[in-house]
Structure 1
Amino acid sequence: MLASKVTTKSRGDEAEERALQHLLAQGLTLVERNYRVARGPGAPGAEVDLILRDRDGTLVFVEVRQRTGRDHGGAAASISRGKQRRCIRGAQTYLMGLRDWPPCRFDVVAIDGDDLTWIPAAFDAS
């Protein structure tokens, strides 16, 4: 039997699934997964790992980061301002497709080894 190869993508998918299950258990509902905006001439691409709706109707754009440990600040510290901008750009593009804009926020789920930390309103669009 062939052993499956563990790739960066498979680890990322596993982290996103773990984050999703945690957020669903907190009462959020899934709206979209891996929302991507293609890169165009002079326009950088964008991605939102998870888009969920909170119980109060808030649309939650979630960045999921995983690290094997807390070296160099851990998973949460690895979310650069550039990564935040790509998430914000993805959220803006997503919202342009909606008739009415609900309240929104940007959350982070940081996974360091076995520890999962949910950080609501981790950053904003300013």
Structure 2
Amino acid sequence: MKPPRTTTPRRALGDRFEGAALSFLQARGLRLVQANFLCRHGEIDLVMREGEVVVFVEVRYRRGAAFGGALASVTTAKRRRIVSAAHIWLTGRPLDARRPCRFDVVGFEGERMEWVRGAFDGDW
């Protein structure tokens, strides 16, 4: 049994923006498969389906555009962790492992949101 997630102000803020991203994506026809998949390689915020495509979504929040903003905060190292976690997720789901996959980022800067489909690929 997993221990309950600790609710800190930072975690609560993350949950708020993950919820906003989820609502936005669902309104555009994506279907939630799993939220907050956690493994030894890291966490995938949202695993969704758009038709036959499995979509792994990273949600990022920054107060403003300093240091490149929310989208730029998804570094090469973070991308590698997301891709590794996606491989673990797919390993346990042989049917989904045969489907095409995509890695999206939903970035928030303040209240402004940007959705980048296919923000990076899984070739690591």
TM-score in same-fold range (> 0.5): yes
Question: Which runs of at least 4 in structure 1 moved beyond 2 Å after TM superposition?
Answer: none
Q: What runs of 5+ residues in structure 2 fail to find an aligned partner?
A: 1-6
Per-residue deviation, 1:72 = 1.3
TM-score, length-scaled by structure 1: 0.87
TM-score, length-scaled by structure 2: 0.88
* Number of the residue aligned with 2:93: 98
SS in structure 2 of the partner of residue 11 of structure 1: helix
Q: What runs of 5+ residues in structure 1 fail to find an aligned partner?
A: 39-44
Q: Over the residues paired in the alignment, what is the CA RMSD in angstroms? A: 1.3
Matched, 1:109 2:106: yes
Per-residue deviation, 1:46 = 1.8
Q: Which has the larger radius of gyration?
A: 1
SS in structure 2 of the partner of residue 125 of structure 1: coil
1:30-86: CA deviation from partner (whole Å, max 9, x where unpaired): 000000103xxxxxx22100000003x100000000001111111000111111111
Aligned-partner Cα distance in 2 for 1:48–1:99: 18
Residues matched between the structures, number: 115
Matched, 1:123 2:109: no
Aligned-partner Cα distance in 2 for 1:70–1:6: 24
Aligned-pair identity in percent equals 41
